[in-house]
Amino acid sequence: MLACPVCKSSVRLNEGKNMLVCTSCGREYGFKKGIPVMLDEESTNKIEKEWQKMEKISIKSPLSIKLTRRLLAPLPYFWHEQDKKIESIIQKLGSQATYLNVGSKASRLIEGIINLDIDTFLNVTVVGDAHVLPFINDSIDCVFIMQVIEHLQNPFLAIKEIFRVLKNGGYVFALVPFLEGYHTYPSDYQRFCQTGVQELFSEFENVELCVAAGPGSTLSWVIREFIAVLFPFSNNRLVYSIIREITGWLTFPLKYLDIIMSRKKYAGKIANSFFYLGKKTRETVDK
């Protein structure tokens, strides 16, 4: 089901060259660590620039280098019933269905899932760009896109691509950030409120839109950044990082308020993030 990301036609393996060759436009795609790299020149250059930008503008925690991860504060958020929701999708589609995780990093949500990311991270099975997915039309049963949308320059284009590669009747499951701090990996571009999420996935039939991490997670995230920025001499990166981690340790339990708060009627107004489950209910007609 791999396709040329440029013209969306299927590819075939040229064993002599050890390259995947587009059956239509003839573009060639190589392998890195045995993983197909389905990036055209434009995507390769764009991703390269993103990594360079990250080096320049991100606030890297010196603590993460100097101290072990054990000293870093726990994450300021947790997602309400994520495993249960994924389990119910697997029950709907079965274990033999084709699952794709766009922007997977090292996660492996389901056994046998296709993990796509912009580099050969652990567990990645295809290197590609979410804006030009390297899969043929109507070929995937379910696409996950978790904590990725904020990092995309053009999320509307990426969701259009997900619609294209999904089979009719297939599902998209997304974790979309709303109120959370700026975080690069490699870049950070935007957030979405509830109506924004609906607009983003407007081509899909809305199955469920609900709070993933609620107001407790928002508060927990904001308070550690707030105190770190407020603290004297925190223009110094090391001071900022130490204060943020100490405040993080003292305040992370606030996120557990979400056990009560996430399902409250107005939780979405200041939620940290949303889950969206959508269904594709018509064939892809273009291309």
Instruction: Catalog residues that contact Zn ion under the rule CB under 5 A.
Output: 4, 6-7, 9, 22, 24-25, 27
The distance of closest approach from Cβ of residue 27 to Zn ion in the complex, given in angstroms and rounded to an integer, is: 5
Q: Point out the residue whose Cβ comes nearest to Zn ion.
A: 4
Q: Please name which of 21, 5, 25 lies closest in space to residue 13, comparing C-alpha atoms.
A: 21
Distance in Å, CB of 21 to Zn ion, minimum: 9
For the CB of residue 37, give the shortest distance to Zn ion in the complex, in Å. 15
Kindly list the strands in the beta sheet with 28-29, ordered across the sheet, starting from the edge strand earlier in the chain.
11-14, 19-22, 28-29
Least gap, CB of 5 to Zn ion (angstroms): 8
Cross-strand bridge partners of residue 114:
100
CA 174/CA 146 separation, integer angstroms: 5
Kindly tell me which of 22 and 126 has the beta carbon lying closer to Zn ion. Answer: 22
Q: Which is nearer to Zn ion, 38 or 209 (CB)?
A: 38
Cβ 140 to Zn ion, closest distance in Å?
19
Element (H, E) at 273: strand 273-279
Q: Which is nearer to Zn ion, 7 or 86 (CB)?
A: 7
Please, which residue, 24 or 88, has the CB nearer to Zn ion? 24
> 112: which 2 tokens?
């046998």
10/198 with CB nearer Zn ion: 10
Smallest distance from the beta carbon of 9 to Zn ion, in angstroms?
A: 5
Contact 192, 244 (CB under 8 A): no
Closer CB to Zn ion, 4 or 63, in the complex: 4
- Give which of 158, 225, 147, 224 is closest to 192, Cα–Cα: 147
User: How far apart are the C-alpha atoms of 217 and 208, rounded to whole Å?
Assistant: 21
Alpha helices in the chain (DSSP H): 41-57, 62-66, 82-93, 155-165, 194-200, 215-230, 237-251, 258-261
